[in-house]
Amino acid sequence: AQSVSQHNHHVILSEAASLELGCNYSYGGTVNLFWYVQYPGQHLQLLLKYFSGDPLVKGIKGFEAEFIKSKFSFNLRKPSVQWSDTAEYFCAVTTSSGNTGKLIFGQGTTLQVKP
């Protein structure tokens, strides 16, 4: 079965530190890849997405992610985090299987940024 794995469950950083959150998926076919963020008390919002083309994608608020097909990975990065980045981050994929577009989510990573 298709699955998504996020390696870090809880990350604590100080402001200005660099961030990298790991995400791996298991599916051998075509995928679309997403990172969603859920700020405290708010609903899920899209950070960035990859459909095709340049494997380095840039999203909102200075986030970027790199798709490495050979590693089945889509890691999220930010050079310098801010306190306002405190949130839960979800990696998700849709696959070409069944053509429904349903999102398969990772378990999420809680990021806590200390001021």
77 touches 67 (CB < 8 A) = no
Which C-beta is closer to other proteins: that of 73 or that of 95?
A: 95
In the complex, minimum distance from the CB of residue 70 to other proteins, in angstroms, rounded to a whole number: 22
In the complex, minimum distance from the CB of residue 115 to other proteins, in angstroms, rounded to a whole number: 27
Interface positions with other proteins (CB under 8 A): 32, 34, 36, 42-46, 49, 51, 90, 92, 94-96, 98-108
Name the amino acid, one letter, at 109.
T
Token representation of residue 109: 């990573």
Distance CA 27, CA 97 (A): 9
In the complex, minimum distance from the CB of residue 104 to other proteins, in angstroms, rounded to a whole number: 7
The whole-angstrom distance between residue 23's C-alpha and the CA centroid of its chain comes to: 7
Which C-beta is closer to other proteins: that of 17 or that of 104?
A: 104
Closest listed residue to residue 95, CA positions, set 105, 108, 86: 105
Which C-beta is closer to other proteins: that of 82 or that of 107?
A: 107
